[in-house]
């Protein structure tokens, strides 16, 4: 499993709109992508500009395909609520109880 970590700076006055946009527009797109597993969006309770999204993919190749084919579409949707371009990092998922649950369901 592979994860993309997207570190965002949200305009403080757009925080609620950011959350709604993720739920209503971004997640439906992600859920249609081959290899997509899950997405977790985190917002800070002490810094209204801070948000981090973790998307989980079956393989790194799935995440890279999404990045090439659909990431710009997502950024166009989120641009009105973000201060700047998010920072993106990719990681292999080595351990996760969610991963174990998913593997158990597949067996």
pLDDT tens readout for residues 57-83: 999 999 999 999 999 999 999 999 999
Q: Which CATH number fits domain 2-94: 3.30.70.100, 3.40.30.10, 3.40.50.970, 3.40.50.980?
A: 3.30.70.100
Given a cut of 60, whether residue 26 has pLDDT beyond it is: yes
Q: Which residues of 19-39 are buried (b: 16+ CB within 10 A; e: fewer)?
A: eebbeeebeeebeebebbbeb
The percentage of the chain sitting over the pLDDT mark of 70, rounded to a whole number, equals 91
């Amino acid at each position: 499993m592979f994860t993309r970590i997207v570190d965002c700076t949200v305009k403080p006055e757009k925080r609620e709109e950011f959350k709604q946009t993720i739920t209503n527009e971004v997640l439906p797109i992600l859920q249609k992508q081959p290899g997509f597993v899950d997405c977790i969006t985190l917002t800070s309770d002490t810094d209204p500009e801070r948000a981090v999204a973790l998307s989980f993919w079956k393989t790194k190749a799935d995440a890279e395909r999404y990045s090439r084919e659909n990431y710009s579409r997502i950024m166009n949707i989120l641009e009105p609520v973000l201060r700047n371009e998010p920072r993106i990092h990719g990681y292999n998922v080595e351990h996760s109880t969610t991963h174990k649950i998913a593997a158990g369901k597949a067996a």
